[in-house]
Structure 1
Amino acid sequence: MKYPNQTDDVYGIKAVGSKKKTFVLWREVVMAYAAPAIMAGIGGLVTADRGLQIAALTTIGGASALMALMIGLLLHSRVGHLRWVIGAPHLVVVGVFAMAGSSFGLYAAWVTSVVVEIMIPSNHLVWVNRVWIDFPLSGFIASTIVTWRWRVAVTTNFSSKRRR
């Protein structure tokens, strides 16, 4: 006798052999923070770069998590239901959102630099120079991964509903 798993409905967890994949935004945001923060932190430890170690937990991880949240919310909204987003080839959709994430990261870096320059005009902080690389790169990577995983989940769910 096979017993149903009680956590399937509560947490959106599916069995290993299950064809249906779910997209859970909070898991994506947590992983978008943790993965680049851990990797950059390891890089900072290996190279003994204290600035990279601090940036791993702040600008790199934080920007990635924020971008993953924004892209995830955007995809859950009406944008995710547009015909071109669902019907276009997988790489096209991911590429468009990756460029949008990178562009937003570049814009966020510009706003951050301007605001810090206005608030602290004479002091040039080291971390402000890092945001020009950290924000666009974090935006590009986070939006690429979140869009890819969202698109796989949507395509899988859409195709499984069609078969019924």
Structure 2
Amino acid sequence: MNKMEYPNQTDGAYEIKSGGSGAKGFVLWREILMAYVSPAIMAGIGGLVTADKGLQLGALTTIGGTSALVAWMLGLWLRSRGVHKRWISGAPHLVVVGLFALMGAMFGLFAAWATSGLLEIMIPSNDLAWVGRVWIDFPLSGFIASTIVIWRWRLAVTTNFSSKRRR
């Protein structure tokens, strides 16, 4: 009797089922959602613990919103041009993440400078309480979002590349 006549009933019961190559791809809306939710939850918890209403409000607006915006812009760039840049996928993972995190923080500083400068021109009294927070919220959000997106993108690209090479 061979194995084909009496198959083992546990064959396939413990296999890991996966669709396609088994690697999760880079899905932009999921990355934007993750970039919004992660810092917003952490800042919201911090606001609850310290009873800081400004931080609680900032968690949902300036912190989460800036993170989502940076994730969206970086994700679009990575999808269109990131695959063609060999240094992004070829350099060590931590170096690439560090560079993009620094660029995200610099973008946040620029956005804070532009926002506060524009609001000073439009609203001279600066009665908006959140304007003072943008100098911390925007660079920190850019840093966090860039780190999350580039880390997850590199993992997706590396996993897809290695699974294609095995075939």
Give TM class, smaller chain.
0.7 to 0.9
Counterpart pick for 1:32 among 30, 35, 42? 35
Distance in 2 separating the partners of 1:39 and 1:91: 23
How many residue pairs get aligned? The number is 152
Verify the 8 A CA contact 2:47 2:55 in the aligned structure 1.
yes
Compute the TM-score of the two structures, normalised by the length of structure 2.
0.85
State the match for 1:73 in structure 2.
Answer: 76
State the match for 1:7 in structure 2.
Answer: none
Shift of 1:19: 4.2
Counterpart pick for 2:85 among 71, 82, 86? 82
Counterpart pick for 1:128 among 124, 131, 136? 131
State the match for 1:106 in structure 2.
Answer: 109
User: Identity over aligned residues, as a percent?
Assistant: 74
Counterpart pick for 1:55 among 54, 58, 63? 58
1:81-117 C-alpha deviation (Å, 9 max, x unpaired): 2111111111111111111111101000000000100
Structure ID, larger Rg: 2
Unaligned runs of 5+ in 2: 1-10
Amino acid in structure 1 at the alignment position of 2:30: R
Shift of 1:133: 0.4
Shift of 1:37: 1.2
Compute the TM-score of the two structures, normalised by the length of structure 1.
0.86
SS of equivalent residue, structure 1 residue 43: helix
Q: Does 1:42 align with 2:39?
A: no
Distance in 2 separating the partners of 1:26 and 1:47: 32
1:28-57 C-alpha deviation (Å, 9 max, x unpaired): 101111121122112111211111111011
Amino acid in structure 1 at the alignment position of 2:106: S
Coordinate RMSD, CA, aligned: 1.9
Verify the 8 A CA contact 2:33 2:68 in the aligned structure 1.
yes
Distance in 1 separating the partners of 2:51 and 2:72: 31
Distance in 2 separating the partners of 1:15 and 1:48: 45
State the match for 1:94 in structure 2.
Answer: 97
State the match for 1:22 in structure 2.
Answer: 25
